[in-house]
Amino acid sequence: MKSTQQYLLVHGIKPSVQRIAIMEYLFKHHTHPTVDEIYTELLPQIPTLSKTTVYNTLKLFVQQGTAMQIDIDEKNARFDSVMETHGHFRCKACGCIIDIPLPEIHHLLPQNTDFSIDEAYVNVKGLCAECKSRQSC
C-alpha cells in the first residue's frame, strides 16, 4: 500500500503528524476504536494531541471516505478504516466488534424500486464464539 501520507493526499486530506498517526492507528487496529481509545493510545507519542483533534480528524476522514463511523455501540461512536462493503457484529457480553462479510447490498434489496442507495449499514448483535463457549460451561 502507498504511504499513509500519500493515501491522505489522494483523498484530499492535508497530512499532518496527528492525521498520519490517527490513520495509521486505524490501519493497524481493526478493533473499531473510539475517540477516547485512539487519544489514549497516541497521547504518549504526541503529547500535544487533544481529544478535539482526534474527533475532528476522524470526522474529516469520514467525510473524505478514508474511514467510516460505526454506530453499533450505544455509548460511543467507533471508527473503521476498512471501506469495502461489510457488516459488523457486536458481542453483547464482551463488547468486541467483528467485521462480517456481506454480499453486494443491491442483492438484498427489493427489485423495481425507484430510489437510489448511497449508503447501507448492517449491524448485528449476539455472543462471540468465546463468550458463547463460556456460557455453555
Say how far apart CA 83 and CA 34 lie, in whole Å.
Answer: 17
Q: To which residue does cell 461489510 refer?
A: 86
Q: 37 vs 14, 31, 112, CA distance in Å? A: 23, 10, 44
Contacts of 48 (CB under 8 A, 6+ apart): none
Q: What is the pTM of this model?
A: 0.83
Residue 91 near residue 106, CB atoms below 8 Å = no
Neighbours of 54 (CB within 10 A): 26
Across the 137 residues of the chain, what is the mean pLDDT of every consecutive 10-residue run? 87 97 96 96 97 98 96 90 89 91 68 72 89 80
